[in-house]
Structure 1
Amino acid sequence: MKKRMLAVVMMICAIALLFVFALSGRKEPETGFAAYKVIAHALGGINGYTYTNSYEAFIANYEMGTRVFEADLLLSADDKLVARHEWTGNMSKLLGQLTVLPAAKQGAVLTYSDFMDSPILDLYSPVDIDKLMDLLGAYPDAYIVTDTKELKPELVTRQFELIVEAAESRDPALLARIVPQIYSRDMLDMVNKVHEFPEIIYTLYQSRDSEEQVVDFVKETGVDITMPVTKASKSFVRQLKQAGARIYVHTVNDQKEIVKLSRLGVDGFYTDFVPEDELAGYPGIR
């Protein structure tokens, strides 16, 4: 009888231990920026158009459930920070501005007034860093991921000084919802000298680092990673996950590709046309 009771007690203890181990291995749900899988590329697509970086694109994608928005940010000719992907004639054409800008300005770096006074596709409104901060103030669960593109230390410093000034002039708490992208390992120190943001994404599209260098940098700094789809190999993703990074890829609009990459271990996606609420319904999305 005693042996039977002892066996029952041991079985109960074993079951209890298994239950404790199962609970300890269960990941807590992510919160804040990390809770979202979608990053709206160039503030998100709108009516089939991409790269607008427009006020209306932000609003339209927010209303569809997206909460994280990548914004292209460039310096104007008179040292203002504005949301534009590039200063080229092709971009002026893509944005439908050939009739609103004289030929000499279509591929040039615009002044702030020229930029803000040039409607996008005759319908949409350009934004600058001040308007982006106003949007963060109006939508307290939204985040901005910066795509500032510059590599020269003086330009990087100036861009982030303007970002910090715009946020602090409204509410310093806004800085917690700005996520800088860096383009090299050295750029992390440049940004940190201006302000230490709680989240940083190292984007690899300009990087010449080896996979080993990127993995070591993640271990040293705790940054997250975004990369073109072509770089997201199974082994690289696994190493980055083991190092502690969240992993994003860009730019993906196809459901099958998103599901495939998610199964590979990718955490999030820069996309033009897939809102956060829609992505949650894809089969196999973790």
Structure 2
Amino acid sequence: MKKGVNIRSVFLTKVILLFLSISLTATIGNFVTDSLTLSSVFNQPNNVNFKEILRENGMSSYISPSQIKASPGKNIIVISLESLERGYLENKYSSLTPNLNKLKKEWNYSEMKQNLGSNWTSGSIYTSLTGFPAFFGVERNSVFQKAYYSQISSISHALKKADYNTVYMNGNADYAGLKEMLFTLQFDEIIDKGNVEKNGFESQYGLRDKDLVEQAKSKVKELAKINKPFALFISTTDTHFPNGIYDARMEKFISKKNSDIEFTVASIDYLMGDFIEFLKSEDLLTNTVVYIYPDHLKMGDPNMFKDSGERSLFIISNSNNELINQNKSTPIYQIDLPKIILQGAGVDNNLKFLTDFIKGDKNKFIEENIGLITTINTNGISRINSNPINISSVSKNYCDYKVDTLRYIAHAGGEIKGYTYTNSKEALDHSYAKGFRLFELDINKSSDGSFVAVHDWKHWADITNNVTDVAISKNDFLSHKIYGEFTPLDMERINKWFAIHKDAILVTDKINDPVKFANEFTDPSRLMMELFDMKAVKEGIGQNIRSSMPSQNVIQKMRESDIESLRKIGVKNVAISRRFIADNRSLLKLLKENDIKPYVYHINFDDGIDEDYVVKYEMDYIYGIYADDWIFSNKKN
């Protein structure tokens, strides 16, 4: 194994190079004058401002890193399992997790709830280290780029004061600003794909879990030989959304399963069992506290956890931690993890975490104080940059946006009972009752040429438990309930629904034949179609439908000078990804000037970016969104 990177040394090397660059500039000009720029290289910690924010919000007793007092306890191993929520340990999936279920019985176990601001991997990691949800405004984790100091205390600060060796291991620490975060929070070492010998088995997330666990064993042996305590943090990745990342090498240990995600869950369970047995064989468990928990709930389709009870997380530990065994009427949240980890390892410390300042419902407190938490997070991070962190405020139009029904398209009919992408009658009914008036349906053709509402045939096979994933006949399609309970839609049923709901507007995706579809739909004046080439766009306009919408692949091929021509031919809307916003704001401005309204999709596709985030921070650049769910309310958040 290669030596792990000392991230503080790497960062300081970059700082020295920056100083050399600035010094060279100074020698060319007036040295006295130009050297003053050195004073702005470091954005010095604004202790006064940060303390004032805490004081004004009843947190004056918060302990910053420089105030921490800590003494060592046991060694610590923390294992964060990607998306492996409690449902995998229960009922129909319990056979996939025999090792975790064995530990659940032998060690201490508690359910844990997911809190706001910690429902994606890097956000979960930040919370588990600092106890704060990961609210950073629009910059999110990029706040850690060029960061060098945190006034926000973390587990790692306390462990440093207690003279622990601190190591973080995951597949790829360059993802989502994790490496910069770990430096800022004073970890000694990070091990990922960048400092481990390549073996040809990397995934898009870097090291595979099998290799990560083997590296962890080697690192534990190395750390155990040093005459000081250690804290090793491990984050797995192979059970990642949507279907896991299959590792054929695990076929030696795991039998064939019904799906890739089930195979990867069984694989990580095997690796956890193997790792714990390794710790036992090395006689390390006596003086080492182990914590195993998921980083967040599995993203995407919740159907697989049907009949598994309320979705939640869990903690398994060999610690006799009273916080884990606390009264069940006081649920554990992710923000409780730092306190639980330190207390369970016997690390005596004077830290206070956010959870210590909350009385009552913790998730409700977070929901009502997102602005405050964002302010604390962003003011508590100091960076090598004289420019202040750009934190966009909530749009001044937010309350107006929230109640404007024409800005929200119910995506694939909208969410129903936790399910998305159903394209079902029940989804339409549910979304209409909530206030939606624009309804997207994915339209494809059956094998006998009929229009039916289906995202794609492979997805349809998954949600109907069907063996075939190719187009089938209309009658066969209509005979299969979605998730065993929802009604599928063909043109006859679509027309019947829209004939009853006379103020509802249909928005189509997938289909690129506006002439044929408009002729079959009950009311073309209530039809909006996303179309995928200019020929189809012009045909849609010729059919006098409500809106013939060029898709992003049409828009992104255009020059800004072409936008006016869209208005002239009658284009009123476009459909684009929200990922398109950041790099195309001048184009979006031009669309607005030509009264062309963009609707954006890919909501809930990127970590931490949901409907509310887009409406608060990005709606000023666009017109509307494809929403899985929305509450039409003028209540201020």
Give the whole-Å Cα distance in 2 for the aligned partners of 1:248 and 1:186.
Answer: 21
SS at match of 2:618: helix
Deviation at 1:192, TM superposition (A): 4.3
Deviation at 1:206, TM superposition (A): 6.6
Give the whole-Å Cα distance in 1 for the aligned partners of 2:457 and 2:524.
Answer: 27
Summarize the Cα distance change of 1:121–1:213 in structure 2 as closer, same or farther, 3 Å threshold.
farther
SS at match of 1:132: helix
Aligned match of 2:461:
92
Aligned match for 2:596, one of 230, 234, 245:
245
User: Could you give the per-residue CA deviations for residues 149-208 of structure 1, whole angstroms, max 9, x where no partner exists?
Assistant: 44xxxxx26xx42442342xxxxxx22111122112221233345x22132222215765
SS at match of 1:125: coil
Q: Does 1:182 align with 2:531?
A: yes
Structure-to-structure mapping, 1:217-232, within 5 angstroms: 217-223=565-571, 224-232=573-581
User: Could you give the per-residue CA deviations for residues 82-118 of structure 1, whole angstroms, max 9, x where no partner exists?
Assistant: 0001122x4421x1x22xx3x2xx2110110111001
Indicate if the aligned counterparts of 2:575 and 2:601 stay in contact, CA closer than 8 A.
yes
Deviation at 1:79, TM superposition (A): 1.0
Aligned match of 1:266:
622
Give the whole-Å Cα distance in 1 for the aligned partners of 2:483 and 2:520.
Answer: 30
Indicate if the aligned counterparts of 2:537 and 2:549 stay in contact, CA closer than 8 A.
no
Give the whole-Å Cα distance in 1 for the aligned partners of 2:546 and 2:611.
Answer: 31
Q: Does 1:255 align with 2:612?
A: yes
Give the whole-Å Cα distance in 2 for the aligned partners of 1:227 and 1:267.
Answer: 11
Total equivalences in the alignment: 225
Indicate if the aligned counterparts of 2:441 and 2:453 stay in contact, CA closer than 8 A.
yes
Structure-to-structure mapping, 1:106-125, within 5 angstroms: 106-125=468-487
Deviation at 1:218, TM superposition (A): 2.4
The amino acid of 1:272's aligned partner reads: D
Give the whole-Å Cα distance in 1 for the aligned partners of 2:598 and 2:564.
Answer: 15
Identity %: 22
Structure-to-structure mapping, 1:121-136, within 5 angstroms: 121-136=483-498
Deviation at 1:214, TM superposition (A): 5.6
SS at match of 2:568: helix
Indicate if the aligned counterparts of 2:442 and 2:508 stay in contact, CA closer than 8 A.
yes
Give the whole-Å Cα distance in 2 for the aligned partners of 1:245 and 1:207.
Answer: 12
| TM-score after normalising by structure 2 | 0.33
Summarize the Cα distance change of 1:67–1:145 in structure 2 as closer, same or farther, 3 Å threshold.
same
SS at match of 1:238: helix
Summarize the Cα distance change of 1:192–1:37 in structure 2 as closer, same or farther, 3 Å threshold.
closer
Aligned match for 1:69, one of 439, 459, 471:
439
Indicate if the aligned counterparts of 1:45 and 1:273 stay in contact, CA closer than 8 A.
yes
Give the whole-Å Cα distance in 2 for the aligned partners of 1:200 and 1:282.
Answer: 34
| TM-score after normalising by structure 1 | 0.72
Q: Does 1:81 align with 2:451?
A: yes
Indicate if the aligned counterparts of 1:219 and 1:244 stay in contact, CA closer than 8 A.
yes
Aligned match of 1:54:
424
Give the whole-Å Cα distance in 2 for the aligned partners of 1:78 and 1:281.
Answer: 49
SS at match of 1:73: strand
SS at match of 1:181: strand
Summarize the Cα distance change of 1:178–1:281 in structure 2 as closer, same or farther, 3 Å threshold.
farther
**Bigger Cα displacement from structure 2, 245-254 vs 114-123:** 245-254
SS at match of 1:200: strand
Give the whole-Å Cα distance in 2 for the aligned partners of 1:205 and 1:86.
Answer: 19
The amino acid of 1:55's aligned partner reads: K
Give the whole-Å Cα distance in 1 for the aligned partners of 2:476 and 2:554.
Answer: 29
Deviation at 1:246, TM superposition (A): 1.1
Summarize the Cα distance change of 1:80–1:268 in structure 2 as closer, same or farther, 3 Å threshold.
same
Give the whole-Å Cα distance in 2 for the aligned partners of 1:282 and 1:189.
Answer: 42
Deviation at 1:221, TM superposition (A): 2.0
User: Could you give the per-residue CA deviations for residues 218-238 of structure 1, whole angstroms, max 9, x where no partner exists?
Assistant: 233231112001112322211
Indicate if the aligned counterparts of 2:405 and 2:437 stay in contact, CA closer than 8 A.
no
Give the whole-Å Cα distance in 2 for the aligned partners of 1:259 and 1:65.
Answer: 19
Aligned match of 1:21:
none
SS at match of 2:574: strand
Q: Does 1:137 align with 2:499?
A: yes
Indicate if the aligned counterparts of 2:578 and 2:600 stay in contact, CA closer than 8 A.
yes
Summarize the Cα distance change of 1:246–1:205 in structure 2 as closer, same or farther, 3 Å threshold.
same
Aligned match of 1:22:
none
Contiguous gaps of at least 5 residues in structure 2: 1-403, 604-609
Indicate if the aligned counterparts of 1:184 and 1:207 stay in contact, CA closer than 8 A.
no
Aligned match of 1:209:
557
The amino acid of 2:614's aligned partner reads: E
SS at match of 2:566: helix
Summarize the Cα distance change of 1:42–1:225 in structure 2 as closer, same or farther, 3 Å threshold.
same
Give the whole-Å Cα distance in 2 for the aligned partners of 1:274 and 1:214.
Answer: 34
Structure-to-structure mapping, 1:155-170, within 5 angstroms: 156=513, 160-167=515-522
Aligned match of 2:200:
none
